[in-house]
Amino acid sequence: MMHDGVNNHDRVLLVCSEESLTRVGVLNEIERVLEREAKEGGSEVLIPITLDDYVYGDWAPDRKDIADQIRSRVITKYTEESDS
């Protein structure tokens, strides 16, 4: 199902939090989106938002290049205050 979502939508929202980034399969999903972006000539399909600061420092996936690619983007920080 995620494979279809990655390929059939204009954008993919990545929720960057400690809970999401440590879930089994999330790294594979990120890789698929980055592969799609490369195939499309560098288009930015993946839109990261964060709920905590985990993505900025403590997140250390085996493939450091993936973390570097995510951190190089504008990451919107969602807080309850920004909801209003």
For the residues 12-41, what does the mean pLDDT come to? 92
Side by side, the strands of the sheet bearing 46-50 are 12-16, 46-50, 76-77
- pLDDT at residue 84 greater than cutoff 90: no
Q: pTM for this one?
A: 0.83
- pLDDT for 61 beyond 90: yes
The CA distance from 75 to 33, in Å, is: 16
Characterize 6-31 residue by residue with b for buried, 16 or more Cβ atoms within 10 angstroms of its Cβ, and e for exposed: beeeeebebebbeeebeeeebbebbe
Bin 41: left if φ > 0, else alpha if -120 < ψ < 50, else beta. Answer: left
Percent of the chain, pLDDT > 70?
A: 89
